Structure 1
Amino acid sequence: MALHLLGKDPESPEGKSPTVYYDDVTDNYLVQGWKVLDADRLSELDLPEHETVVEIPKRMVQFFPEVNGGGGTGV
Structure 2
Amino acid sequence: MALHMLGKDPDSPDGDSPTVYYDDVTGNYILQGWKVLDPAKLAEMSIPEHETVIEFPTRMMHFFPEVNGGGGPELH
TM-score normalized by the length of structure 1: 0.89
Paired position in structure 2 for 1:62: 62
Secondary structure in structure 1 of the residue aligned to 2:21: strand
Q: Which amino acid aligns with 1:41?
A: K
The yes-or-no answer on 1:24 pairing with 2:24 is yes
Letter paired with 1:44? E
Structure 1 runs, 4 residues or longer, greater than 3 Å off: none
Deviation sequence 1:12-71 (CA, Å, 0-9, x none): 011100000000101111000000001110111111011000011110111111102233
Once residues 45 and 68 of structure 2 are traced to their aligned partners in structure 1, the CA distance between those partners, rounded to angstroms, is 28
Name the count of aligned residue pairs. Answer: 73
Match of 1:36 in 2: 36
Higher relative contact order (Cα pairs below 8 Å, separated by 6+ residues): 1
User: 1:12 aligns to what?
Assistant: 12
**Aligned-residue RMSD, C-alpha:** 1.4
Unaligned runs of 5+ in 1: none
Unaligned runs of 5+ in 2: none
Identity %: 70
TM-score of the pair, normalised by structure 2: 0.88
